């Protein structure tokens, strides 16, 4: 193949991803692959592009080219090419991209890609090695297989909102579109698994996930409370349903969180706060969960005597996990967050130097743990920015017979 642009010489360097998706779940999946070094070619509707280019405020940039910060959040390390997939020319270019790609990511409603002439069978005929990654709202089959799905709808339908919020009467969505993000992560790891399998079989796979399955798949112990114990969980605010004390508490000048996950930690925490650790109401975890209101009242009465920073220092000193509740500006200003490479610096063609939330994965040589090289992230593309370069690359492939 001809030389390909990528975000860095990462583990997926040399892999080509065609991103037919829009909104968040699919773009997030493709971005994760781009973070790992794959070349990601984002296919967008001419003139308008991905839906999220118009999702705002906030918008940034000059008045004649306002840019959605939503779009910036999920499209780094990509190239943009405009294609009308309903036109013969657009279909022809997509055919060439399918032949050249290793992975194709799409989140059309089930059946849409088929109607455009790109069924899973046809794409496998064009490129038997292609990994086809399909993300839907509620699954590609079943009684609701064709149902459209957006994150908040899925959070409600998949039971997550019933577990979140201050009480049973106030179902609450998570503060980020967690269904979309989980579906993107599942799609990316499914694609990686299929690429690994392809090394052995020489053939691609169809990988499917959905917002519904991604949320149900992380019910964890809340799920087994129902499937095994027959209990229907409900929201209890910022406290753990099975462990106490484990949650948020108010002190003299704000809120802090503690996680007392063992009996030894309880003895230390109770002693620090002047609470009788052997009080029958609090003597073991089951008793503390059963008597949570009385326990919380005793904890907050003690914490009210001093400020958050003082308590965090004392609680941490006895080995009990604790932390502050931070706003996002405080998070991104944190030295620890920056030390973990969680901010990606990019040079945007319109905005100049900007910082984006970065990748959660880092790589280094086990023989030299300090050998880690920060990835060279590329900015989210302008609409159609790579129309010419992508076509020129495809021409080169045609000429070489690749």
**What is the DSSP code string of 100-165?**
H-SEEEE-PPTTHHHHTT--HHHHHHH-TTPEEEEEESS-SSSTTTT----HHHHHHHTTHHHHSS
Catalytic residue list contains 180? yes
How many whole angstroms separate alpha carbon 74 and alpha carbon 356?
Answer: 9
Residue among 269, 364, 266, 251 at smallest CA distance from 316: 269
How many whole angstroms separate alpha carbon 330 and alpha carbon 180?
Answer: 25
CA angle 240, 177, 226 (to 5 degrees): 40
CA 113 to chain centre: 24
User: CB atoms < 10 A from the CB of 402, how many?
Assistant: 10
- The pair phi, psi for residue 353, each rounded to 5°, is -75, 120
User: CB atoms < 10 A from the CB of 349, how many?
Assistant: 11
Which of 35, 50, 151, 180 is catalytic? The answer is 180
Using CA atoms of 250, 253, 254, 255 in order, give the dihedral in degrees to the nearest 10.
-50
Whether cis (ω within 30° of 0) applies to the bond prior to 353 is no
Are residues 346 and 379 in contact, defined by beta-carbon separation less than 8 angstroms?
yes
Distance in angstroms between the alpha carbons of the first and the last residue of the chain: 6
Residues with catalytic annotation?
Answer: 180
């Amino acid at each position: 193949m001809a030389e390909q642009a990528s975000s860095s010489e990462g583990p997926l360097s040399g892999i080509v991803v065609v991103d037919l998706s829009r909104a968040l779940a699919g773009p997030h999946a493709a971005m994760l692959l781009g973070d790992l070094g794959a070349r990601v070619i984002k296919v967008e509707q001419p003139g308008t592009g991905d839906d999220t280019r118009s999702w705002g405020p906030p918008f940034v940039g000059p008045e004649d080219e306002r840019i959605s910060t939503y779009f910036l959040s999920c499209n780094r390390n990509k190239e943009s090419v405009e294609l009308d997939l309903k036109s013969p020319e657009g279909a022809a270019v997509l055919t060439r991209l399918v032949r050249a790609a290793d992975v194709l990511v799409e989140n059309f409603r089930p059946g849409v890609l088929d109607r455009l002439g790109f069924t899973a069978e046809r794409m496998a005929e064009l490129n038997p090695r292609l990994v086809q990654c399909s993300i839907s709202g509620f699954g590609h089959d079943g009684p609701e297989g064709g149902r459209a799905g957006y994150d908040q709808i899925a959070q409600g339908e998949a039971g997550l909102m019933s577990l979140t919020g201050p009480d049973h009467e106030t179902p609450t969505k998570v503060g980020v579109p967690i269904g979309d993000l989980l579906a993107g992560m599942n799609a990316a790891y499914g694609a990686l698994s299929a690429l690994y399998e392809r090394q052995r079989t020489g053939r691609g796979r169809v990988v499917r996930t959905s917002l519904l399955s991604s949320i149900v798949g992380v019910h964890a112990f809340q799920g087994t409370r129902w499937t095994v114990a027959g209990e229907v969980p409900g929201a209890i605010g910022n406290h753990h349903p099975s462990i106490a004390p484990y949650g948020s508490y108010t002190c003299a000048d704000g809120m802090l969180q503690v996680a007392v996950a063992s009996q030894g930690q309880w003895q230390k925490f109770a002693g620090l706060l002047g609470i009788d650790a052997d009080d029958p109401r609090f003597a073991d975890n089951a008793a503390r969960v059963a008597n949570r209101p009385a326990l919380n009242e005793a904890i907050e009465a003690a914490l009210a005597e001093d400020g958050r920073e003082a308590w965090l220092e004392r609680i941490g000193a006895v080995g009990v996990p604790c932390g502050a509740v931070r706003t996002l500006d405080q998070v991104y200003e944190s030295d620890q967050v920056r030390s973990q490479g969680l901010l990606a610096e990019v040079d945007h063609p319109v905005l100049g130097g900007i910082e984006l939330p970065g990748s959660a994965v880092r790589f280094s040589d086990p023989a030299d743990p300090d050998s880690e090289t920060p990835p060279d992230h590329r900015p989210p593309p302008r609409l159609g920015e790579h129309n010419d370069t992508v076509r020129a690359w495809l021409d080169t492939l045609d000429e070489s017979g690749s």
